Amino acid sequence: MIGASFGSKPADLQWQNMRRRAQWQNMRGGRDYGLEYEKVEPVTAAQTQSTKAVVDQLDPTRPVLIAGPTASGKSALALRIAQAQGRIVVNADALQVFADWPILSARPPAEDEARAPHMLYGHVPGHHAYSVGEWLRDLTPLLNGPDPLVIVGGTGLYFTALTEGLADIPPVPDAIRAKGNTLALATMVDQLDPASRARIDLQNPMRVQRAWEVLHATGRGIADWQDATPPPLLPLSQAQPLLLDAPKDWLTPRIEQRFDLMLQAGALEEARANLPEWSPARPSAKTIGAPELIAHLQGQLSLEEAAEKATIATRQYAKRQRTWFRKRMRDWQRLTPEHLT
């Protein structure tokens, strides 16, 4: 793991690992570890002031929400706000909840967790199909607690459920979920009711399978359930929502650099540790880069091919995120990349 001890490794290997970890940390948050970074621009005084201006405008008593595409600097901004205002950082990323892929899911490392409390990260076993409803239930005592929160992540559905409400859909039987795991995406799309098909992202396998499961488990389409949604846990008017509006030409180089840094930080070793229990149907297997590195370990791809495929998948995921944010988060305050460092 990124935050692991160096132990008794040779001095030159310790130095290499320190530089790699510093590169990874610098890209995620621009923090200076006194080392020489490669391919990373230094933080300027103007950029630092921009972040300070964002923090200064926030009411320290009201929850802060931070959304944005992958690799946009969400976690770094959340940490700075948490440190400045004594907040707890709470995860709103559907893949960072899982315990088994801390590096590939870009979970905050131990260094960040030591600077401010972090909750709902890595608390779910990889085999468990963790739902949006479970996330809301886990979040509720934190929202009702004494400490202010900064809730950060890239899963738009989590934020929508939090601020607009979530339909009270009954649990899906294991047999129906198991059948859904065997079906192709196109097959499930064809079997959806028209209203649900028109509403959900048909390119997102998790969303399509969820809609298919709900329809077959309850006899009602997920759109129908959503139309009967109860009041939200945290109305948007009671929060301070920030959206990192990272343009494609700014984000793409960061995505391409990030997977290389993940490999240097130990992502391949992480995949090797997950290999014995690997299954594409495992909920945590949706972590970007996991199928590609497992395919490499199984002799199906070279490491270069796996890295290229993972980078392409990350770019596609970021595009889907930006599309969601444009459609569903029009009332959020938008921040440009200048605010990220």
Render each residue's pLDDT in the chain as its tens digit; 341 residues.
Answer: 333 222 333 333 333 343 444 444 444 444 332 222 223 333 344 444 477 888 999 999 999 999 999 999 999 999 999 999 999 999 999 999 999 999 999 999 999 999 999 999 999 999 999 999 999 999 999 999 999 999 999 999 999 999 999 888 888 999 999 999 999 999 999 999 999 999 999 999 989 999 999 999 999 999 999 898 889 999 999 999 999 998 899 999 999 999 999 999 999 999 999 999 999 999 999 999 999 999 999 999 999 999 999 999 999 999 999 999 998 999 999 998 765 55
What is the value of pTM for the model shown?
A: 0.75
Task: Give the residue among 143, 103, 94 at the shortest CA–CA distance from 271.
Answer: 103
Q: Which residues pair with residue 161 across a beta bridge?
A: none
Asked whether the beta carbons of 241 and 65 are under 8 A apart, the reply is yes
| CB neighbours of residue 160 within 10 Å | 19
CB neighbour list of residue 198: distance below 8 Å, 6 or more residues apart: 223
The full set of domains in the chain, from first to last, is 50-166+230-336 (3.40.50.300), 174-227 (no CATH)
Q: Which two tokens mark 215?
A: 């329809």
Using alpha carbons only, give the angle 283, 138, 163 rounded to the nearest 5 degrees.
95
Q: Which two tokens mark 82?
A: 């948490």
